[in-house]
Amino acid sequence: MKEEPITPAHAKMDAPHEYGSAMTLAFPLALEEQIIDFLLDHPQWVHGFSLIDAQGMGRGAGLKSAMEKVKGRSQRRLMNILLRNEDVVPLVEALREEFRSPDMAYWVVPLLSFGRMA
């Protein structure tokens, strides 16, 4: 049985998108422009995104520069993308085909609500 998303009555959904998932991509700064260009070339899946400066630590951090090695963390970007549920798999497959990089990670979570404040 398919669960319907929980949406407060006051939230205005951006029709016709009706987002059901939130994807986060984590990647090194060196890939930023390539990823942006790729997403802009695929408006059938991605209707916008937000970029956030981040620092990565741990096994997947991929410390490249001397400064990153000294600090023990890498400079990264996080990109948040709201998606329709049916667009998640094709986008992940296309990203994996285009960017075969162990330095790039993603996660997808259900989006309970989306709306604008005005």
DSSP string, 3-60: PPPP--TTPPP-TTT---EEEEEEEEGGGHHHHHHHHHT-TTT-S--EEEEEEE-STT
pLDDT, tens digit (0-9, with 9 covering 90-100), for 52-106: 998 776 665 565 665 655 555 678 899 999 999 999 999 999 999 999 988 899 9
CATH number corresponding to 21-110: 3.30.70.120
Least confident of 41-50, 69-78, 105-114: 69-78
For the chain, the average pLDDT equals 82
pLDDT higher than threshold 60 for residue 23: yes
